[in-house]
Amino acid sequence: MHAGTAPDQGIIVIGIGETETVSCDKLAEAGPMPAEKGVPRIGLIYQTHSPNSPSIDAAILKFDLASKTWSLDEPSTIIVENLNVNLTLAAMRAALKSAP
């Protein structure tokens, strides 16, 4: 710390990568998404907020058939997070069906 400066302060966040947020208020919607190459996926829409404003965030989870675990499908999450529409499960499904 230098004279006249405040100490560094950490911010506690939840999530990882594209799902990182300061606070998650509630899960608003959850439902199946189109499978990719036979891999099941689930879409999640949740309400979050920062000190400045509320927001809606999305995540796509994919199922690993070998380990039988769910994990973040970050490329698909980025696709749905960048939609310029009201975030709904239907809009997420449509975006994933038309994605390359």
User: CB–CB of 40/62 below 8 Å?
Assistant: yes
Q: Which helix (H) or strand (E) holds 62?
A: strand 54-64
Structural tokens at position 31: 């439902």
User: CB–CB of 31/43 below 8 Å?
Assistant: yes
Report pTM. 0.76
Instruction: Encode pLDDT of 18-65 as tens digits.
Output: 666 667 778 899 999 999 999 999 999 988 877 788 888 888 999 999
Query: How large a percentage of the chain has pLDDT more than 70?
Result: 78
